[in-house]
Amino acid sequence: MTSPTLDKARFLNDRLDWNLLRTFLVIVQERGVSRAAARLHVTQPAVSQALKRLEESLDCRLIQRHGARFEPTRAGEEVFRIASDIYGHVSRLESELDERRDEVAGSVRLLSLSRMQSAVYDQFLADFHQTYPRIELQIEVMRSSDIISSLLQKTATVGLGLCRAPDERLNLRCFMRQRYAIFCGRHHRLFGRHGLTTNDLLAENFVSFTSDQLGDSLSPLTVFRDTRGFTGRIVAASSSLDEVRRMIFAGFGIGCLPEHIVREDLAQQRLWRLPPDEGVTDVDIQLMWLRARKMNAAEQAFLEAMERTMQRYSLTERLSMVPG
């Protein structure tokens, strides 16, 4: 006579729908059912039903909601880890069994923001080149608005940039979610000071991005300053993250930067974190491509490989600076 636990394990091995695991992966990666539905090109009720069926199959709650917060339970985190491993192995198996991969040739034109800082992204590029050695990859760095224009004009394959006002002609997948916070540099009078509040910053001058304008890709930074009552002037601006970071370090003013990119600067005491403790806003870097563009074999291979990577790694893991 078998035990109930053994019977359940056999049931899962024989009857579990692996498509439910993939749906769950996307739900966690996108931090919500509606975003997962958009990414999977299905309805929101279909995603909710898939989550319910998976929870019933595993006999445990996988997602916990706290108001607007959406996060996996402890069991959900374990299921996500196992599912990520499974789909990672499946992706590698697909590459190994594809005898035609060495025959795929062509070029891919990728437009990107500067400072795409992610160990997952770096490893993706390495794996892609190893799998498709005959595909030529051209990467050009430019502003998000120019990336979108180029995609709409069909002069590029794919883009990695910011998109505040989604265009129905573009496919969008969130590749990275950056948390912006306020920092000052070593030469600023607030550097090293503890116990500050947001009110202590209201009169400080700002270093800004040129896209930090209402309606532009970084307009949440503008909205934050306006709603909190900041009165300081914008005394320096650039479209380059590196130049904004440089001017903040030089003491021109305080400014917003992605938290994960300046970790080393904080460790080396080049920059100082300022309130609010929770940061300012999350800004998504989107993988974008034109729906109507007919892809060649090389371009299709690149997109499929990129989406497999996004299925395997969560948004948090994609911000890692070291290989996982």
Give the pLDDT of residue 165.
Answer: 79
Quickly list H helices, the chain.
4-15, 18-30, 33-40, 44-58, 74-97, 119-131, 144-152, 219-228, 241-249, 263-267, 297-312
Q: How many Cβ atoms from other residues are within 10 Å of residue 119's Cβ?
A: 16
Q: Could you tell me the two tokens for 246?
A: 């440089």
Question: Is the distance from CB of 181 to CB of 280 less than 8 angstroms?
Answer: yes
Q: What is the pLDDT of residues 86-125, one digit of tens each?
A: 766 665 555 555 555 568 889 999 999 888 889 999 999 9
What b/e string do you get for 18-41 counting C-beta neighbours within 10 Å, with b at 16 or more?
eebbbbbbbbbbbbbbebbbbbbe
Give the pLDDT of residue 7.
Answer: 47
The mean pLDDT value of the chain amounts to 84
Question: Is the distance from CB of 222 to CB of 214 less than 8 angstroms?
Answer: yes
Q: What angle do CA 47, 53, 57 make, to 5 degrees?
A: 145
Q: How many residues does the chain have?
A: 324
Distances (CA, A) of 47 to 33, 135, 211, 310: 6, 35, 35, 18
Q: What is the pLDDT of residues 34-44, one digit of tens each?
A: 878 877 777 88
Q: Which segments of the chain have a pLDDT < 70?
A: 1-16, 67-69, 87-102, 211-219, 321-324
Domains with residue ranges and CATH for the chain: 4-95 (1.10.10.10), 101-175+285-319 (3.40.190.10), 177-283 (3.40.190.290)
Give the pLDDT of residue 100.
Answer: 55
Decide: helix, strand or coil at residue 55.
helix
Q: What angle do CA 143, 275, 258 make, to 5 degrees?
A: 25
CA distance 257 to 238: 12
Nearest C-alpha neighbor of 22 from the set 74, 75, 91, 98: 91
Decide: helix, strand or coil at residue 254.
strand
Give the pLDDT of residue 128.
Answer: 95
Give the pLDDT of residue 248.
Answer: 96
Q: How many Cβ atoms from other residues are within 10 Å of residue 71's Cβ?
A: 12
CA distance 301 to 306: 9
